[in-house]
Chains A and B, each alone.
Chain A
Amino acid sequence: DIVLTQSPGTLSLSPGDRVTLSCRASQTVSSNYLAWYQQKVGQAPRLLISAASSRAPGTPDRFSGSGSGTDFSLTIDRLEPEDFAVYFCQQYATSPLTFGGGTRVE
């Protein structure tokens, strides 16, 4: 199984800050089939980024994804109040599909 490790576990930030979240895979994620999801308290996850860097429809352009192989990142420019949430990375290249443990942005 591909293990995804997200760091850090929690980030304490302020509106307007720029943040980069990391997701490291235990083996190469083929075709960069790596997605990022945002989950707010009491809500279902929401797709932000697929294929490592493609924003999903409706994802604000302050969110950007990058990386390839085993190292991926999600950057949020100028944090807005509604961006405080938990962010999960997920690989969908290899079964079983796996998620990282999440990074909480508070």
Chain B
Amino acid sequence: QVQLVQSGSEVKKPGASVKVSCKASGYTFSDYGITWVRQAPGQGLTWMGWISSYSDNTNYAQNLHGRVIMTTDTSTNTAYMELRNLRSDDTAIYYCARNLSGDAFDVWGQGTVVTVSS
């Protein structure tokens, strides 16, 4: 079946970087893009950006101020999201989701908890 499996929880100090992985299975990876969404504790959903799995084109949310890098590895059907210069307000659950450009997010990963604390 189609699924996205994300890497495990992370605890990081302010100023550090985190890299979350999202491994796809059950579909042709290069046919879809991957979107990243985060959810702070008790809060709503925030779109972080999107990467095409076939062209590596990206579209990032401006409010991340250039701290995010999204990549894909088509040899392992895995997408990655790296967030640099972490701050305490980056503490959140990070989700990857599958979508075509200009379409809704039809399959989601299970989420990765990232905690930023000194």
Contact = CB atoms under 8 A, between A and B. Distances in A.
A23 interface: no
A45 B104 CA distance: 12
Interface string B81-115: 00000000000000100010011111011110000
Contacts of B95: 44-45
Interface residues of B, number: 22
A100 B108 contact: no
Contacts, number: 54
Contact of B61 (A33, A37, A96, A102): A96
A35 B108 CA distance: 14
Interface stretch (B11-19, B23-31, B43-51, B65-73): B43-51
Given A44-B95, A97-B47, A98-B47, A90 B61 contact: no
B112 to A, nearest CB: 11
B59 interface: yes
A33 B105 contact: no
B45 A35 contact: no
Contacts of B105: 35, 37, 45, 47, 90
A contact patch SS: loop
B62 interface: yes
Interface residues of A, number: 22
B108 A45 contact: yes
A88 interface: yes
A19 to B, nearest CB: 19
A47 B104 contact: yes
Contacts of B59: 95
Given A44-B95, A95-B59, A96-B62, A56 B106 contact: yes
Contacts of B104: 33, 35, 47, 50-51, 56, 90, 92
A88 B44 contact: yes
Interface of B: 35, 37, 44-47, 50, 59, 61-63, 95, 99, 102-106, 108-111
13 contacts: A37-B45, A37-B105, A44-B109, A44-B110, A45-B105, A50-B103, A56-B106, A88-B45, A97-B35, A97-B47, A99-B44, A100-B44, A102-B45
